[in-house]
Amino acid sequence: MLDLFLKGGPVMYPLLACSVIAMTVVIERAIFWIQSDRSRNQVLVDEVLELCRVGNWEMVRLKVAGSKDYLIRILVSGILHREFSMTKAMESAAADEIRKMRRFMGVLDTMITVAPLLGFLGTVTGIIYSFESLGLAVVEHPETVAIGIAQALITTAAGLIIAIPAVFIYNYFNSRIEDAAISIEKYATSLEIVHKKLVRDKDGNNEVPE
């Protein structure tokens, strides 16, 4: 591997940096989603919605204490601001959660784009080196042409090796974000419906009979 790296020429160093950055982002995002999955508590989400349906806000407060579920955080934000603007509060909280989920995704996307381009740059420089060798000493030192061709092929392969797996991982993380956004919208809407029904029922009970 070290021999191949050295044969790839100077472009291999930025490619190495790209691979390290991409791997770091992948590991960090993988840890984030593992922790997020462990924190998810669907039973608690359903219990919170049921308690909101009957207006038992104190029990909601006790139930959600210490929860790290992002859905719970969003619902609690709406509950805390139910007298003012539940929808806006949940939208703001949801935006914060989605922002956390998208953290470093732009960096990974950049590495996916840059790595093949660096590989192609290495290809061009390798071919240029080969043509220079052809004009200088191809008869006495034919191996110099092979060095340039090897550099061209190695850097191209290295760029693709970095980018191809990263594309699959990037798309997987994006799918997780989209699924989370759908869940957020679903349960935020459910809470709004439950709260509106509760308010309507209370208003109906407060009406003075004729």
pLDDT in tens, 37-65: 999 999 999 999 999 988 888 899 899 98
Q: Is residue 129 part of a domain?
A: no
pLDDT at 34 over 50: yes
Give the pLDDT score at 133: 64
Tell me the pLDDT of the chain averaged across its residues: 87
Q: What is the mean pLDDT of residues 93-119?
A: 96
pLDDT at 197 over 90: no
pLDDT at 146 over 70: no
Structure tokens at 7: 């044969």
Give the pLDDT score at 145: 61
Q: Is residue 152 part of a domain?
A: no
- Spell out the residues 6+ positions from residue 156 whose beta carbon is closer than 8 angstroms to its own: 119, 120, 122, 123
Owning domain of residue 54: 10-115+159-200
Residue 90: CB atoms within 10 A of its CB come to: 25
| Model confidence pLDDT, tens digit, residues 68-99 | 999 999 999 999 988 888 899 999 999 999 99
Give the pLDDT score at 110: 96
pLDDT at 208 over 50: no
Split into its structural domains, the chain has a count of: 1
Work out the angle at residue 89's Cα, subtended by the Cα atoms of residues 105 and 107, and round it to the nearest 5 degrees: 10
pLDDT at 210 over 50: no
Under 8 Å between Cβ of 75 and 45: yes
Residue 108: CB atoms within 10 A of its CB come to: 23
Structure tokens at 65: 């204490």
86, burial (CB in 10 Å: exposed 0-12, middle 13-18, buried 19+): buried
| Model confidence pLDDT, tens digit, residues 117-139 | 999 998 888 777 777 666 555 54
Calculate what percentage of the chain has a pLDDT beyond 70: 87
Rounded Cα distance between 119 and 122, Å, is: 5
Give the pLDDT score at 48: 92
DSSP per position, 167-209: HHHHHHHHHHHHHHHHHHHHHHHHHHHHHHHHHHHHHHHTSPP
